[in-house]
Structure formats: C-alpha cells, structure tokens
Amino acid sequence: MALTAARVDEITAGMGRARIMIVGDIMLDEYWFGSVSRISPEAPVPVVEITSSKQLLGGAANVAANIRTLGDEVVLLGAVGNDEAGGKLTALLNDRSISDDYLILDKSRQTTIKTRVIAHSQQVVRTDRENRHSLDEPIEKKLLDRFMSMIDRVDAVIISDYGKGVITPTLLEAVIQACSHREKFVAVDPKETNFPNYRNVSLITPNHHEAGFAYGRRIQNEQDLLEVGNGLLDRLQARSILITRGPDGMSLFQKDVPPTHIPTFAREVYDVTGAGDTVIATFVSSVAAKANLVEAAIVANTAAGITIAEIGTASVSLPRLSKGLKQNVLNGNLVSAGIDN
C-alpha cells in the first residue's frame, strides 16, 4: 500500500490528542563533545579535548520525550535513585512538561547514567553508571499500584525494557494482563532476556539482532527473517511484531496478514542512539490517532529516519514529521512491499 498526502494529513491531524502511559527503565544520557588531535602517550587511545557537554532524557524517559513532542499527554512510570542524576532527570522532565508524579524514589539504586564521548561526530567511548538489580518487592508494588490507578485513564501503554531491573516478570505480567482485560493497545520495546514474558501484547519492536537471538536463529537473509518474524508472532501470541533492520528498513508481521516490508527513509546517519524510542513512540501515537498498523509503521520509519540524522537522542515534532512524510510521498518512497512467504 502507499500513503497519500491526504492520508498523511488525516493521521497527523489526529496525533497529539492521546494520553499514553510509559512504564520502564528511566536513565540520564550525557554527551561530552570535543576534538582529537593526538594519541595519548600513556596508551594507544585518542586524547579528546572536551569543548562542550549536554544532558538528555534517556531510556523510557526518551520515549516520553518523543511522545510529548508529538503533542500527546504522557504518564511516565519508573524508578530513579536518590541522587544528583535523579534530580537532573526530574528537571529535564519538567522542562518538557512531563510530570514526575508517578516516579518512584528507590534508595537501593543509583540513577542510570550513560555517558558518551563524541569527537568529530563520532562516538569514541561510552561509560555506564548503573545498578541492574530487580526492583525490591515494596518498590515493585508501589509502581504497580500507580499503574493500576491510571490504566483506565490512558489510551495506550508502552513498556520500555532496557534490562535495568524495573520491568520484572511480575510487573510485566500484571501490566499486560491489565491492558488485555481493558483492550488497551500495549507495545513493548524488548530486552532479549525477557522475551518469553512478552506474551499477548499488541506490538513488540525488536531490532533484527534481538529478534534473531530471541528466536534462536540469526537473520542473514529474507528466509531467516520470515521464519523469525512469523515464529515469534506465533510463539508470543502477539498481534504484531515490527522488526527494525537498520539500513534495510523495517518488517511488520501481523497475525493472519502477510508480512510487509518498509524500506528505510534515512538519508544521512549520524547517531542511531534512541532511534528505537522514536519508533515505538511514533508508532503508538499513530495508532492512537486511528492509523492502521502498516500506516503506523511507515510513520514511525519516517520519524526514525529524521532523528538519526542528529547527534544524541532526538524527537520529532508533528509539523516536521508531516513534512517528512509528504516529502516521501512526492518521492514515491512510501510504497511498502510485501514479503513472499
């Protein structure tokens, strides 16, 4: 199928009106920018002379930022440490008009910080400061109680699992079950180790490495892709699976529908950090605006193509997204090709 400019207008006009809840691992992304002119005499590594730095929302908080930039209301649930990074996260959320009312203060962990050193538009090294233990039972209960207090007042739910301990099997089962009983659209950005627990969701968005690992078969060609996509769809009893494939685009698998391939729309790639957050956020926002799943995948793919042209986690506004979609319509790039079974 192909999108028309008129249909783009219909979808984007409906976006930005939903309330979407995000449950997951919240983190702080730091970026240090500089230049390299010499190699260290102490070890064969570059010396980066830092000239500037910035801090951005990461993980589930970046998903929330993407949703908020599209205009939708956000309910963000997660845990942060009682530390300076947690305070900075709260300030960044408030700057984006995202409430911190549903965050849990967990004194047993430090707030996750990912620090990336960038020189000449290239990432030189990344350092992580974090605890990855599962939530203690009292914290888990608090988080679930806050989820249950809001589930009837949201239009969709996103589970953002970065494997940092917030998405426990108990929490995951309760969230999916509550969404299923209420017929709420629930989407998961997965972590490989938790795949067996992502059952009966509306959407799951692994990249091709995660999908292949979860199914037990490396995706090397179209036949592998079909086996993994259809196999995971059946194994997890999911409504849909969107496998992101980097420069090869995305492939959408739906129950009782032939799979669909969507070519990449990226023209320049500077930084893929946070691209998965953009994909799931834009997809769910589109679905909330009554786009069908193929249309939502095309919209999400366009949004991802825009954000990876920037350094650092980024989000896309509705006007910019609409412009990008219409440009692809003019260029004939929105035709999605079916994959032969």
Residue 41, token pair as written in the block: 């005499």
Residue 28, token pair as written in the block: 């702080």
Q: Which of 83, 189, 277, 340 is catalytic?
A: 277
Three-state SS at 168: coil
Q: In this predicted model, what pLDDT tens digit does every residue of 197-235 receive, in sequence order? A: 999 999 999 999 999 999 999 999 999 999 999 999 999
pLDDT for res 107 = 93
* Nearest alpha carbon to residue 138 among 79, 82, 90: 79
* Nearest alpha carbon to residue 202 among 218, 222, 182: 182
Listed as ranges, residues in the chain with pLDDT below 50 are: 269-271, 335, 337, 339-341
Cα separations (Å) of 63 from 75, 181, 230?
Answer: 11, 24, 27
pLDDT for res 269 = 44
pLDDT for res 246 = 83
Instruction: Clarify whether 101 is annotated catalytic.
Output: no
Under 8 Å between Cβ of 186 and 178: no
CA angle 172–56–16, rounded 5-degree value:
65
pLDDT for res 273 = 60
**Sign of the alpha-carbon torsion through 103, 107, 108, 109:** positive
Helical segments of 30-168, H only:
60-69, 84-95, 137-150
Task: Encode 293-314: b = buried (16+ Cβ within 10 Å), e = exposed.
Answer: bbbbbbbbbbbbbbbbeebbbb
- DSSP letter string over 253-279? EETTEEEEEE----S--S--TTHHHHH
pLDDT for res 306 = 87
Specify whether domain 5-27+57-105+132-335 bears CATH 1.10.10.60: no
Residue with tokens 């685009």, as numbered in its chain: 249
Which phi and psi (to 5°) does residue 315 adopt?
-135, 165
Q: Beta 112-119 vs 122-129: how paired, if at all?
A: antiparallel
Distance (Å, rounded) from C-alpha 30 to C-alpha 52?
Answer: 11
Q: In this predicted model, what pLDDT tens digit does every residue of 43-56 receive, in sequence order? A: 999 999 999 999 99
pLDDT for res 1 = 55
pLDDT for res 202 = 98
pLDDT for res 268 = 54
